[in-house]
Each structure stands twice: as structure tokens, then as C-alpha cells.
Amino acid sequence: MTGNPVAIMEDSLTGLVRGGLIAAALSLTVSACTKSVSMAGTWDATVEVAGVSVPFRFEIADHGGSLEGWFFDGDLKVRSTEGHASGRSLVLTFAQLATRLEASQQPDGSLAGKYDRGARPAPYPFHARRHETSAQPGEAAPTISGVWTIPTKSSKGEQAWRFIVRQSGDGQVSGAILRVDGDTGTLTGRYANGKFVLSHFSGARPLLLEVTPAQDGSLILVQNGKTTLTAVRVEDALAKGLPEPTDPSRHTTMKDGAPFGFNFPDLSGRVVSQADPRFEGKVIVVNVTGSWCPNCHDEAPFLVELYRRYRSLGLEVVALSFEEADQLRNPTRLKAFLTQYGIEYTVLLAGLPEEVSAKIPQAVNLNAFPTTFFLGRDGRVRRVQAGFASPASGDFYTKGKTDIVAFVEALLAEPQPHPAD
């Protein structure tokens, strides 16, 4: 090596410094690319269902590295059971639904991914943007609040449904379609361009409902861009002689007055029967249910409340859970369902959903999930209630609960049956 030793040393040091700066810059760049980005906050999201984009509100909370997300059903929150983020990606698990949301943050800050429905076919594509409160006033909307009748023929033998609508002064609209088995969950939306656009998605039962007021005072309802229904005011439906919605307390009946029987295993494999001594002389609420059923999720908190309130007075609640084959083999969703709602009453694995009529042969027209049988102290069915109206159905929810509580109290007030001679 030739030349000035001092100059050579200075050049070497300069090269090392430059190299170090470049390496540091590269390190910072890599770190920036892999650093977790906060996804906490409120999001305006959509899922794509059969080519239709269904909007909904979604929230994410960051608890020091673990994530929690929740859907909304009106004022109710459907919370994730597990969640985590890695870099710009997140995974939220809803074990009580056997579903999972996977998404990653895009360069523009939005989220894109899929809502995986487990054993069910085709996950829903998912997109979301940060929620922004609109400063624009909504259009003046016509008044459609109240209860409407929807003439229709369903696979359950119904000839009409109810459409329940609530409006607020700020242009917001909420409501639900109520069938014999239950409702759609809370539909929310606004009025724009001559129609109300309402939607619902809380991890299940996605629905986009476009409601257009017609000149004759009726409403034209389009579900998910396909099915068209007409709704008329209840008084107009009665005046026209249109069929009324099915009475859920008359939808399912019994073949005879024989005592109600059940004989199924619990989650530990132990067979439980109505003949077991612990049920003798008690009022029993037998609930035909399934953890796959959204309306059964709606009903569960009420049954939990009912059982806790009256079990010391002689009330038993027995859930006959009809699950898909994979859940019968390994009932992870059902177990999460029990945990989610704090269920302490008896839960039995009764079979596949399509086996319900064969497994409960005493019932006639048993085709709604949930369906609840109310047994007197003598073991005989005193009432059968199809479906469950959730809080989305307003007064129908409140009245339905009050009516059932009064009926259960009346059964509990009856004397113990005399033992057979």
C-alpha cells in the first residue's frame, strides 16, 4: 500500500461511518416495515355476501399486544374470544361462532382480508376504513316508524312476517324483520336518494335491506339485492283481509298429552333423562337449540336469567342442542357458547339439526330454532313457544319475556302432583 498513511486512515474511517449510516438506515427501514401498527379504533366495514356488500360498524381494542374486536347488534356487542396482531396483520377469533377474522392493513390505512366461517363454505371478503363522522346533514326522510305486515309464504308455513321500524330525529333508522323463529338482528341505516338503506352483520346473518316508500303508502323491501317483498301498515293489512303473522305460541303443537320425554348425553357423555330423580315434581323448560343458530344466541341470556331467578323454586332448564356433525364430535363452539353466556343449566347433545323431528317425535310442526317446551310439575307440555324475538324487535321482545316469566311463575305456583296409588 502506498500513499499518505493519515489520509488512508481518514478514508477508511469515512467509509466505515458511511457504511454504518447506511446500515442504520436500512435497519430503520426494515423496522418500519415490520413494526406493528395500531389498528385500535372504530371501523366502517363491509363483508361481501353473494356479490352484495353488507356494511356494518366494527371496533378493535388493543390490550397491550392482545387484540379484542367486536361486532354490534344494536346496543349489544358480540366480542371476540381471542385476538393478536403481527406487523400489519390481525387475527380475531370468535369461538362462540366458530369463525375468524383475518385482515391486514393496506398502504392507505384500510383493512382487507376475510371472515372465515369455519366448516361453512366460502369465507366472506372483508374490507374496512377508519370511521369518520359525517358533518353532512341527512336528507329529510318520510316517516315509516311503527309495525308493518309483510305478506309472504315461508318454508315454515308462515303467511306473513312483521317489519318493525324506529326512527330518530337525526335521520337514523333501525329495525328488524320478525319471523316465527326470531328476527334479523338490529338493522341500522339512513335515508338517501329516495330510499332507506339498512344493514346488519354481527358475525352472522348478514343482511342488506333497501326500503323504498311507494305511492300507495306501502314499502318495497329488497333483501341483499335480490328478494323483493312488500310491507303494509298493520291496519291496512287487516282492512284488506291479509293473513296475520304466525302466533309463535301456536306454531308447534303436541301429538298427545303424554309426558314429554328426552334421553340424550351431556357433554361428558353421561345420559340424562326426564325420568331422572332430580327432575321429579319440577317445572322444566326444555329448549331446542343449537350454537349455530343466531336466534338461539339471542335467547340464551334470557334463559340464563330465568334459571338463576327461579331454580330455587323448582325450575329446571334443559337445552337439547342440535349441532352439525363436526361439532357433535368435538363441540368447541358449543362449549364457547356456554362460556359466553354463563350457562349453568343442563345441556345435552341431541343430534343433527335435520334430525330434530325424529328425535322429538311427540311434537308436530317442529321446524323453528329455537323452540321451547314448558312442562308442568307432572311432566306434561303446557305450552310450546317457537322462536325468540331479540331486543331488535322492541316491544315484541319486552312483551315476549314478560309473558313467559308470568307463565313460568304460574307453573311454579301449582301444587306438586300426588304420587300414583
Q: How far apart are CA 39 and CA 81, in angstroms?
A: 17
Q: Is the pLDDT of residue 227 over 60?
A: yes
Are domains 41-130 and 253-413 of this chain identical in fold? no
Other beta carbons within 10 Å of 138 = 13
Residues 357-385 have pLDDT tens digits of: 999 999 999 999 999 999 999 999 999 99
Q: What percent of the chain has pLDDT over 90?
A: 84
Cell numbers representing residue 303 in the block:
334463559
Q: How far apart are CA 388 and CA 251, in angstroms?
A: 13
Q: How far apart are CA 111 and CA 88, in angstroms?
A: 9
- Which residue did the predictor score with more confidence, 118 or 195? 195
Which pLDDT does position 137 carry in this prediction? Answer: 65
Confidence of residue 219 (pLDDT cuts 50, 70, 90): very high
DSSP letters of 122-143?
SPEEEEEEE-----SPPPP---
Q: How far apart are CA 115 and CA 307, in angstroms?
A: 34
What does DSSP say about strands 41-49 and 124-130: parallel, antiparallel, or unpaired? Answer: antiparallel
Q: Is the pLDDT of residue 11 over 60?
A: no
Buried b (16+ CB within 10 A) or exposed e, 365-401: ebbbbbbbbbbbbebebbbbbbbbbbbbbbebbeebb
Which pLDDT does position 420 carry in this prediction? Answer: 59
Which pLDDT does position 83 carry in this prediction? Answer: 97
For residues 304-308, average pLDDT: 99
Q: DSSP H helical segments within 211-353, as ranges? A: 234-239, 294-310, 325-329, 332-341
Residues 16-51 have pLDDT tens digits of: 334 443 343 333 333 334 455 689 999 999 999 999
- pTM to 2 decimal places: 0.89
Contact 243, 159 (CB under 8 A): yes
Q: How far apart are CA 307 and CA 202, in angstroms?
A: 26
Buried b (16+ CB within 10 A) or exposed e, 280-291: eebbbbbbbbbb
Confidence of residue 5 (pLDDT cuts 50, 70, 90): very low
Q: Is the pLDDT of residue 248 over 90?
A: yes
**What is the CATH T-level fold of the domain 146-239, as seen in this structure?**
Lipocalin (2.40.128)
Q: Which amino acid is at 284?
A: I
Which pLDDT does position 246 carry in this prediction? Answer: 98
Cell numbers representing residue 1 in the block:
500500500
Q: How far apart are CA 176 and CA 156, in angstroms?
A: 19
Q: At what angle do helices 332-341 and 294-310 cross, to 10 degrees?
A: 50
Which pLDDT does position 19 carry in this prediction? Answer: 46
Which pLDDT does position 26 carry in this prediction? Answer: 35
**What is the CATH T-level fold of the domain 41-130, as seen in this structure?**
Lipocalin (2.40.128)
Which pLDDT does position 153 carry in this prediction? Answer: 97
For residues 196-209, average pLDDT: 97
Cell numbers representing residue 387 in the block:
322462536
Residues 97-147 have pLDDT tens digits of: 999 999 999 999 999 999 999 878 789 999 999 998 875 666 789 999 999
Residues 55-108 have pLDDT tens digits of: 999 999 999 879 999 999 999 999 999 999 999 999 999 999 999 999 999 999
- Of the listed ranges 140-144, 201-205, 264-268, 307-311, the one predicted with least confidence: 140-144
Counts for the chain of helices (H) and strands (E), in that order:
7, 26
Q: Is the pLDDT of residue 1 over 60?
A: no
Which CATH architecture fits 253-413? 3-Layer(aba) Sandwich (3.40)
In residues, how long is the chain? 421
Which pLDDT does position 400 carry in this prediction? Answer: 98
For residues 309-335, average pLDDT: 98
Sequence spans of domains, the chain: 41-130, 146-239, 253-413
Q: Is the pLDDT of residue 8 over 60?
A: no
Average pLDDT over the chain, rounded to whole? 91
Q: How far apart are CA 268 and CA 80, in angstroms?
A: 26
Which pLDDT does position 240 carry in this prediction? Answer: 96
Contact 370, 287 (CB under 8 A): yes
